[in-house]
Structure formats: structure tokens, C-alpha cells
Amino acid sequence: MSDMNTQMAERYKNNFLKEIEEQAEMGEWVKMCMQCGLCSGSCPTNFHSGWDHPPQEIFMLIRAGKREEVLNAQGMYMCTSCYNCYVRCPRKVPVTHVMHGIAEYAYRIGRAPKTQPTMHLSKTFWTNATKNGRVNEVQLTQSLYFKDGISAGIKKAMEMQSVALGLVKAGRLNLLEAVGIAHKCKDVKGIHAMLAKAKELEAKRKEAKA
């Protein structure tokens, strides 16, 4: 087995805390958590279904070396980036960023759930925004609705029809964007070259740590 998940598990042996500290953005903050639970209590999505482990629990699971539990957790994909946890944490842990960092790491090593809708949006948002340098809102919405296939997409699009119509009437939804007639940066080539280099340097940095 040479997939990235196995490679990383082997490389860090039983030290999952070190794995997160070195590989996940802002992961070095995990050990600062004192388990007060203010982050979990401040989270707007904690009160909906779908949570298994809120941030406080994820921090403890990391320290306890529960690699599978953390990488299988759904909690980090529930983040709305509201920054409530971030500003309230008495230890100044940037909880929002740590959650994003763990989600990114799980995705990078192929452990993020393929059909989780916010995870899907996260991927498509970046791809969409960097394709031409600016977001194409219509194509972003389409790719999200049609992620589970054409018939599911049509059903979702029908459900959202009244919302879309309202926006079209108000001049806030340009249907031409669907066929790619949209706002674009002039130097798309430069942006792509810049991003390729950034990606390469980031991979090197992560590799050097491991």
C-alpha cells in the first residue's frame, strides 16, 4: 500500500498529534486546548444534527492519538467560518483555522468524505475562483446541485427555481455565466503560473517537515 494515508500513518507511527502539528495548517495550536468546551458551545451548527465530534472533542482525540476517529469525523465539515470559537477561546486557539486545517489534511490524504456537501463546495469554490481569477456564481451553484448526478441536480434546481427567479429579476443573477460569459481576470496565465508555484512550494514545505 503506498497511498498517502498509509504513508503518513507509517511515517508518524503512533504520534498523531505530531502528524497534525506538522501537516495540518495551524495544527501546532492543538496542544494549547484546555478542554473548556467554549468552542463547541459557541458553534452555530453544533445544535443541528450531523455532528459527531465538536472542536473540543477533536482536539482531545488528536492528543489521545485516535487517528481513525478524527479522520472519520464529520465535525470539521460543519464549520460556517463564523469565527465565534476563534474569538471566544480563552487560550487564543484559532479554532476556525485549525478545523479548516484538519479538513484540508484529511482531504489531501484522501480521507475526506467524497459526498459531504460542504467539502464538495470547498473544492469547487477554489477550482471555480482560480479558473478565471474570479468566481462564476452560476457555475458554482450548478456544480453543487449536480454533484449527485443529473436527475438529483434537476430536482434541486427545480426546488431553487423561485429563489433563482427572484435574483434574475433583481439583476443579481446573470444566466450567461452558465455558458462561461462571465467576469474574468486579464492575466489568468500569470495567476495559474503563480498558483502552480505556490502549490509546489507548499508541498515542499510539508515534505521537509515530515
Q: Which of the residues 54 through 83 are near another protein (CB under 8 A)?
A: 78, 80-83
The verdict on 118 binding another protein (CB under 8 A) reads yes
Amino acid at residue number 104:
E
The verdict on 52 binding another protein (CB under 8 A) reads no
Give CA–CA dist 183/165, Å, rounded.
21
| Residue reference for cell 507509517 | 10
- Give the residue from 126, 62, 67 showing the smallest Cα distance to 93: 62
Q: How far is the CB of 145 from another protein (least distance, A)?
A: 9
Assign residue 50 a region: left if phi > 0, alpha if psi is -120 to 50, beta otherwise? left
Which lies closer to another protein via its Cβ, residue 34 or residue 82? 82
- For residues 12-51, which are near another protein according to CB under 8 A? 25, 44-45, 48, 50
Choice from 28, 31, 60, 135 touching another protein (CB under 8 A): 135
Q: How far is the CB of 162 from another protein (least distance, A)?
A: 6
Choice from 117, 154, 155, 158 touching another protein (CB under 8 A): 117
- For residues 91-110, which are near another protein according to CB under 8 A? 94, 96, 100-101, 103-104, 107-108
Q: How far is the CB of 56 from another protein (least distance, A)?
A: 18
Choice from 16, 29, 59, 86 touching another protein (CB under 8 A): 86
Choice from 60, 121, 157, 178 touching another protein (CB under 8 A): 121
Which lies closer to another protein via its Cβ, residue 13 or residue 155? 155
Q: How far is the CB of 149 from another protein (least distance, A)?
A: 17
Give CA–CA dist 200/207, Å, rounded.
11
Choice from 11, 194, 209, 210 touching another protein (CB under 8 A): 194
CB under 8 Å to 152, separation ≥6 — which residues? 145, 146
Each as own residue / partner, the long-range contacts of residues 178-187 (CB below 8 Å, 24 or more positions apart, any chain) are 178/138, 178/139, 178/142, 180/136, 180/139, 182/132, 182/134, 182/136, 182/138, 182/139, 183/132, 183/134, 183/136, 184/132, 184/133, 184/134, 185/132, 185/133, 185/134, 187/133
Choice from 130, 142, 148, 157 touching another protein (CB under 8 A): 130
φ, ψ dihedrals at 180, nearest 5° = 90, 0
